[in-house]
Each structure stands twice: as structure tokens, then as C-alpha cells.
Chains A and B, each alone.
Chain A
Amino acid sequence: MVNAKRLGKGRTLGFITLMLCGFLSAAAQDRIRIELNMGQERPRLAAPDFKAANGDPQTAPLNTVFNQVLWSDLDNAGIFDMVAKSFYPSQMPGQPAELNAKAWGDPPPNAGVITFGNLGVTSGKVDVQGWLYDVKNPGAPQILGKQYKEDATPDNARLIAHRFADEIIARLGSGIPGIAESQIYFVSTRSGNKEIWQMDYDGANQKQITKLGTIALSPRISPDGSRLAFSGLTKEPSWQIMMYSMDLGRTVAFPRQGGDNFSPAWASDGTKIAFSSTMHSGLSEIVIADANGAGTRRLSTGKGDVSPVFNPKTNGQIAWVSGRTGLPQIYVMDADGSNVQRMTDQGYAVSPAWSPNGLLLAFAWVRNYGPGVLGGSDIYLMDIASRQIIQLTHDGGRNDFPSWSPDGRHIVFQSNRTGNEQIWSVLADGTHLQQLTRQGRNSQPNWSFK
């Protein structure tokens, strides 16, 4: 029941949440929680600021960046019970000899694990030493010891913090790699028209990628991160799947198809692309093609089929949106077009996103759509096997385009809750809501595969 309560707890414990908790059993919520790779036991982690190793003028500012990013990464990971800094003992260790394990392991901090270290700039290089210790195991306390050396820039201080955080998360988080070095691709209007942009997972380092000059939509990064597929409006005009090489830094050739073609999706092995196309009937249908765009095959013949996404665990199934019965609903079919199943049965359900472990679908849903009852669109999670659904966002506005982090513990989405569309991220249990963009209008986030 403790976990059930935690799942239901968004920013506001709204009426709908109460209803959901009412008909969803605690067992079902626990099951979803496990499917989110968020175990029931969360290590209690202390993360005192790293110490300045010397008096170089660059040491203090870089150490500040490092400490902020490391804390944020660990806190955002969603797998730790972070010990509040107000409980910390007065003496901060900068290296193992300075660690008083008992002071950290006893109440009030009552930490299970502690990470600590030091940072210093010497001759233009930033040098970081970091450790992870089990404070309850005096016999063999060290879990991790790492050293990093890079050119002394704020970006590198940030990068080292991400790398060290990912080491800790991988060690304590069931072996699932951290996401601190992952990227989020999205659509932004800040250049004057819709183009594809890129940012770090925490919203840092936002930069423009495409310069199409018309309209670019629906970015989807390839599993290896080398190519970015998106929908672009040509001068003709028609919508075409376009391909941007992250390695070459420019758009590369991709076959043009008849009609309009949009909303691409990658198979997780990088060998196939699915997208929506009007090439066959004049209406949007799901087609599948090789990664180079050759050999398109028609998978669906509905009217208004769009937003395909592969089951990344197997690549044997595709979820998508169809308006074949009226308002759009989520469907799942085998990757050859057979075995079509309807997954939602009411409201306006769009933008499916398949979790990395293949067990969950995130989607956007105006659940109680009806004449005069036009509710907001919220993000929901569905356990595919049981079809049980929990609501992730409760804070109003139109929330759409969920996309899973590589570790399956976070979701990024767009929301207009502040008045215009911005990108937000949230832990998949509904906590740690963060706004990542603020400039222009930003939409359709897509989290990298790794």
C-alpha cells in the first residue's frame, strides 16, 4: 500500500487519482512499479559536495557546476532515497581517509551508501577523484573508485559529473546503465519556424540541428545515435521522411515517396523504419521500410493511421494510432500487419511510446472526451499484459508525446500547462517533474536509445 500511495502521488492528489487508486489494486501498481525498474528497496544515498582539491581560481567554479550536476543526476535517477543535506555531519570527506563511516551510517543521516571525492584544476586540466562506499560494510566498504581528467571547462565538469553519476547508477540500479549522457531531440519554434533541436537529458546545451526553413516535425533518433529521422515539408509541397546525419552534420539522401509521409519510428536494431504514408490510398496508413528507405510495405489499411512505434524489446510488434472507428485510439499489431488489437476503448488516445523493456505503453489520452466535456489531455501508462492503466500527469493543460528514457524510469513529454508548449520530464512514478525548455514553443520530445 505504501507504494500504491507513492504512485498515486503527483503534484496534486486529484479526484481522478483517487478514483484510479480505488479500482487499481495495490498489486497491480506494484507490478507496474517493478516494470518501471523501480524496485521496492531504494538505497539511501548520501552525496556530500566534492571538496576543492586546491586553490586554483578555476577550481571553485568548476566544482560548483560538478556538484550541482552530480546531485541532480542522482536525485533524478529515481532509484535512490537521497539523504537530505541538512542531516549531514559537519565533516565532509574529500577522500577515503577522511570518511567517518559511522557518522554517516547512524541516524540522523542513516545512509546506506555515500559518494564523495574531490575536484581540482591544475595547468588547465580538471582532475576529479570520486568514490562510492557502503557505510554499513566496514570490512569491504568500497563499491567504486574513479578518476577523470579533462580540459578545465564547465562543459567538461558537467560531463564528468554525468559519467560518474552513470557509474553509480549502473552499480546500484540493477545493472541498468544511467541516462546522464543521453540526449533529447525535440521541435522548437525559436528560430522562427519549426526545426529539430537537441539538448542534454537535463535541459542543458540546447542547440538547433535542422535548418529546413519550412516545417520539421517528429524527430526520431536512430538506436546508435548516428541518424535523425524526421518529417519535413518540401517546397512542392509534400511531407517526406528526411534523414539527418549526426556524424556528417547535414541532411543526407532518403528516398522520396508518393503522397505525404510522416511520423517515422526506428526498430531498436536499426534495420527498419515504420512511418505513416498516403502513397497507397491517399489516406494515412502505416508502412514499413528498410532503414535506407527501400522496400516499403503496407501494414495497415485504416483511415487516418499514424504515430507507429516498435516494441523495442522484440521489434515484433508495432503500436500506432488509428481513427478507423471515430476518435483516435491506440492499436497494436504484429510487425507484418497481422493480429491487430485495439488497446484503448474510449476518449481520444494518441502518441503511444513503448517502454524499453517492452512491458508498458505510455500514451496521451483525453480520457473523458464527450460533447461539452472536453477534458485535458494527460499522460497515462498501460501495462500491456493486463491492460491496467495508471495516470502519470495531473496538473492540467494538454500533455502529449511521451517518450521513454533509455533506463525506462523517466518520461519526457510536452505540456502547455504554463500557457504554451514546453518540454517536461518526470519520473515514471509521477515524481520529480521538471521543466526542461523555456524559450519559444517546444514539442514532440524524443529520448535517445542510450
Chain B
Amino acid sequence: MNKSTSNRIVVLGVLALLMVASGCKKKETAPPPPPPPKPVTATLSANPTSIEAGQSSTLTWSTENATDVALDGNKVDPSGSQTVSPTQTTTYHLTAKGAAGTQEATAQVSVQPKATPTPTPVPTPTVTDDQLFAQMVKDIFFDYDKSDLRPESQQALAQAAQIIKQKGWRVQIEGNCDERGSTEYNLALGERRANAAKQALQQNGVSADALKTISYGKEKPQCTESNEDCWQKNRRDHFSLLH
């Protein structure tokens, strides 16, 4: 029996059945259109969506009305799950084909570099406020028995004022003197030196509230020899960042 003969028999049979079902009514009606094919759906999810290299994630999918389901080109069950261990961030594709068409769904598993044993690639240099302060707000120096700011000190303080304002820093200004002269008078001289720097910072816009002064007179020398080199090092304002 060839194919066309058998088709013809099927068609006749179907017609006969339809006539019986209609109760042999005389009135002839048009046959109802075939029902539209149901829409194909597809969902795909990954859990967890983010893993470290070496760990795994579970992909779960489901489909409806699909006759042909593939995950990244491999045929799979209409619904199911699968464990994956990608080494780098990967997007998985689910393709579901059915009578109504094709539906796709995607899920991404992102992969982080391993935290512990993996050497950190070139660390970005982090500068602490203390380091930045030390770079930007340096000691200024004075002549013997003087509290006048030298031109280079005025310049340095104008620059220091910008970063102090920008960072919202609070600063302690410490006036110091060399070992010569009276303990008590040197306390007063140290106050003048600290105050001179305070005035200059204020003139450059730093709030008075952000500035505290103290005189150490000749009580805290950073150099203890009795010569001009050493004395000059001690005739200074030192600045400290208040936390």
C-alpha cells in the first residue's frame, strides 16, 4: 500500500466519523478550525548566580509546550536541572521549540577570582590621611627670637591651607624654640610662632575652629646639639593632624 492510498482511507474514515457525530443532520455546517497551538514558554535560572572559581552553580529550567529543548545546543529534558562549574563568567542559553515557535531563556553565572590563594593583582597604592598630611603640611622654620613667617613659609602655608580645607582636617600647630634663652620666655615665643602660622592658615580660608595652638617652648627639641644647625631645626612650627 503506497502512502497516497492510505491517506485517502484516513481522510474518508475521518469524514464518516464526523457524519455520525453530527447525528446525520441534514443541515450541513463548516468544520471548526483546528485549535491554535499553545504558546511555548521557557525559564532558566542559576543558583547562585555568582561563584568563585572552582565552585559550582545549579541551573534549573522548565518549559511548556515545547517539543524540543536544548541547553547550549545539547538536547535536554523539557524541565530539569544541571550543575555547572564555569571558570569564567558564562551566560547559559535555553532553547525551547514547540508548535507555536521557539522561546529562549538565559541565565548568567558570574565567576569571581579566588579570594585567598590568588595573589592580588598590582595593589592600588592607598595613601592614609596621616601620610598625606605629612606630605602636604610640613614644618616651617624661624629666625632666632623671631616669629615672623619667612616667604617660603607663607607659600607653604597657603598650599597647606587648600588641602586642609579640602579634607576638612583639624590641625594642631606646635611652636618650638632652640635651647638658648629662658624657659619661660621661650614658651611665650613658641606661642607667637604657633599663632603666626594659625593667622596665615586663617587668611587662606581655614576656619579658626579647625586650628589649635600649643607652645612647647624649648621643652621638646628634635635636635639636642649646641650648634646653629641644630638650633635652626628646633626653631619651628610642627603640625599634627587631630583625629
Contact = CB atoms under 8 A, between A and B. Distances in A.
Contacts of B214: 237-239, 260
Size bracket of the A interface: 35 or more
B188 A304 contact: yes
Given A238-B214, A260-B215, A321 B192 contact: no
A1 to B, nearest CB: 36
- Of B185, B187, B191, B215, the most chain A CB neighbours within 10 A belong to B185
Interface of A: 194, 215, 217-218, 231, 233, 237-239, 259-260, 262-263, 276, 278, 282-284, 303-307, 321, 323, 326-328, 348, 350-351, 364, 374, 377, 398, 400-401, 443-444
A326 B214 CA distance: 21
A306 B185 CA distance: 6
Contact of B182 (A278, A283, A328): A328
B164 interface: no
Given A278-B191, A283-B195, A350-B181, 15 more contacts: A217-B183, A218-B184, A237-B214, A238-B214, A259-B213, A260-B214, A276-B187, A282-B213, A284-B187, A284-B192, A307-B182, A307-B185, A328-B182, A398-B180, A400-B182
Nearest to B192: A304
A44 B213 CA distance: 59
Nearest to A282: B195
A30 B131 CA distance: 66
Contacts of B185: 304, 306-307, 321, 323, 328, 350-351
A307 B184 contact: yes
B139 interface: no
Interface in B184-232: 184-185, 187-189, 191-192, 195, 198, 213-215, 219
A323 B145 contact: yes
Given A237-B214, A304-B192, A282 B198 contact: yes
B243 to A, nearest CB: 14
Given A215-B219, A238-B214, A282-B195, A323 B189 contact: yes
A233 B217 CA distance: 12
A282 B191 contact: yes
B187 A364 contact: no
B187 A260 contact: yes
B191 A443 contact: no
Contacts of A262: 184, 187
A323 B188 contact: yes
Nearest to B175: A260
21 contacts: A231-B187, A238-B214, A259-B213, A260-B191, A260-B215, A263-B187, A283-B191, A284-B191, A284-B192, A303-B192, A304-B147, A304-B192, A307-B182, A323-B145, A326-B145, A351-B182, A400-B182, A401-B182, A401-B183, A443-B183, A444-B183
B235 to A, nearest CB: 14
A180 B100 CA distance: 121
Interface residues of B, number: 19
A305 B213 contact: no
Contacts of A328: 145, 181-182, 185
6 smallest A-B Cβ distances: which pairs? A284-B188, A350-B182, A304-B188, A306-B188, A263-B184, A282-B195
A273 to B, nearest CB: 15
A239 B220 CA distance: 14
A237 B174 CA distance: 10
B192 A323 contact: yes
A239 B215 CA distance: 8
A283 B187 CA distance: 10
Given A239-B215, A282-B198, A276 B184 contact: yes
A275 B189 CA distance: 16
Nearest to A187: B183
B14 to A, nearest CB: 104
Contacts of A321: 182, 184-185, 188
A239 B186 CA distance: 13
A66 B120 CA distance: 81
Nearest to A371: B144
B184 A351 contact: yes
Interface in B12-58: none
A276 B188 contact: yes
